Structure 1
Amino acid sequence: MLDHRVDVLAARLPFPTDGLHLTVLCDEPHVLVVPLDHRLAGRESVTVEDLAGEPMPGLRGSDPAWNAFWRLEPRADGLPLPDGPYVDEAEDKFELVAAGQTVPVSAAAPGFVPRPDLATVPLEGVEPSHVALATREDDRSRLVTAFRRAARTHLPGGPVARAQTRR
């Protein structure tokens, strides 16, 4: 982004934000993704404490803050979750979930199920995933400003009065 290859980026935080202007567009709740026969499948919700002993995947080559955020680290009790397998692509984790090797956290709208052989369980007590619009901090382009305004206005569910702008 800072190298001027793109002017606007919509992505989930966390990512390095130095030199960027961020507009938080929406929050997405977290869910735990489990096989249908998993001990936590079918529960109304789970907490981080319910995940004790469950292997959490990591995304190989990703930013350490990104991996920590999605692995729910650091935990309040100071105990790390067991390392699950590392994957090269985020989508690869669903194959490992179906095989019973890991239980990842994902951002999802209510009712989201990535595959018919998997279940999602709402995760309580953790910060939601923030979807943000990022532009260069010093970009004063009228097109970028108009794009930012349009993104806030035309999100699913109507205008976003709650959109937060941060520098």
Structure 2
Amino acid sequence: MESIPDINTRVLRYFVTLAQAGTYTRAAEVLHVATPSLSQQISKLEHDLGVRLIERDHRGARLTEAGAEFLPLALDLLSVHDQAVGVVRRHRRAAQQRIRIGFFATVAGPRTHEILDKLRKTLPGINIELVQVGWGEQITAVLDGRVDVVFARPPLDTQHVRVFPVFTEKRVLVMSANHRLAAKPELTTSDLADVVQVDTDNVPEDWRRWWSVDPRPDGSPVTYGPLVHGVEEMLEVVATSDTVAITAESLITAFPRQDIVYRPIIDIDPTQIVLVTPTEERLTIRALIHATR
């Protein structure tokens, strides 16, 4: 009887990243490994499974029929693995009266101090750790236990988590103080017809499009410019060029600068800050949820 091979989760991540990146070079950059090493690991995976998963040609790396069938199952395996690790990480921190709170820009906006003070009052002696996560890590950081919870900004895939609203605010256009639109006190999407906006490649596509208002209400596409991967990088780009970005109003007080201005966009939906938590119950997490109310 043929034995079932043991597959290392690291190699599974290599395969998934390669499938998503489309080329060995791009996947190796994402994984921070050498391209020959990645190729060797994929070949070993194929040898262990006894089937070719990837075809390599002049267009890059594409999935074979077997690879296309294997990919969604590999994603499921990694998801379950990460969630299992996340559960025990959160258990350990809760037992130590610690809570690790993820955020990527302004935590809970103007409600941050209020919420954290309530949490400390409810659980005296609790150790609160604030950890910055990337735009595209708002859900995965909770699921794999890097953080216990995260203050995040929708749209989000909430299939395996719980979400609690915290704060609603306007979306604004941030730009250089010398930009032609800086003279206007408020903007509409029609004002954005000819602007170039920052782009990013490390977030879900629906999140990227919602924050970019792409397409515009009239159906027109957005013109994208430089890639950015975080708030500070975004602000540096808009401060030193004609490129603009759509962001949240609370950045005005969190990142005040003389060389940039923020203007409200009055004909688009506002944004929310939400608290994302795992599905299991923890005393520390329950106390934080209560503090947001």
* TM-score past 0.5 threshold: yes
Q: Is the 8 A contact 2:175 2:242 kept in 1?
A: no
Matches within 5 A, 1:37-56: 37-56=178-197
From 129, 137, 142, the equivalent of 2:283 is: 142
Which residue is 2:116 aligned to?
none
1:146 is paired with a residue whose SS is: helix
- Which residue of the other structure, out of 197, 210, 214, is the alignment partner of 1:73? 214
Amino acid in the other structure paired with 2:244: V
| Structure 2 unpaired stretches of 5+ | 1-141
Instruction: List per-residue Cα deviations over 1:108-133 (Å, max 9, x = no partner).
Output: 13954642111111111111111000
- The equivalent of 1:126 in structure 2 is 268
Residue-by-residue CA offset, 1:76-132 (whole Å, 9 max, x unaligned):
211111111111333212222122241101101395464211111111111111100
The alignment status of 1:32 with 2:181, answered yes or no, reads no
Give the distance between the partners of 1:46 and 1:3, measured in 2 at CA.
Answer: 40
Q: Does 1:61 align with 2:222?
A: no
Name the CA shift for 1:6/1:42 in 2 (closer, same or farther; >3 Å): same
The alignment's C-alpha RMSD in Å is 1.9
Matching residue's letter, 1:132: V
Q: Distance between the aligned counterparts of 1:4 and 1:92, measured in 2?
A: 26
Higher helix share: 2
Contact kept? 2:199, 2:225, Cα under 8 Å:
yes
Question: 1:84, 1:101 within 8 Å by CA — same for their partners in 2?
Answer: no
Consecutive unaligned residues in structure 1, runs of 5 or more = 153-167
Instruction: State whether residues 239 and 259 of structure 2, in contact with CA within 8 Å, keep that contact through their aligned partners in structure 1.
Output: yes
Q: Distance in 2 between matches of 1:110 and 1:56?
A: 17
What amino acid sits opposite 2:248 in the alignment? Answer: A
Q: Between 3-12 and 68-77, report the one with greater CA deviation.
A: 3-12
- Report the TM-score when normalising by structure 2: 0.48
Q: Rg larger in 1 or in 2? A: 2
Q: 1:2 aligns with which of 143, 146, 149?
A: 143
Q: Which moved more, 1:79-88 or 1:4-13?
A: 4-13
- Contact 1:33–1:106 (Cα < 8 Å) also in 2: yes
Distance 2:154 2:180 in 1: 30
Higher RCO, Cα 8 Å, sep 6+: 1
Of the candidates 85, 96, 106, which is equivalent to residue 226 of structure 2? 85
Query: What TM-score comes out, normalization by structure 1 length?
Result: 0.81
After superposition, the Cα gap between the structure-2 partners of 1:41 and 1:19, relative to the gap in structure 1 and judged at 3 Å, is same
Say if 1:111 and 1:59 are closer, same or farther in 2 by CA, change over 3 A: closer
Question: How far apart in 2 are the matches of 1:149 and 1:116?
Answer: 38
Tell me which residue corresponds to 1:156: none
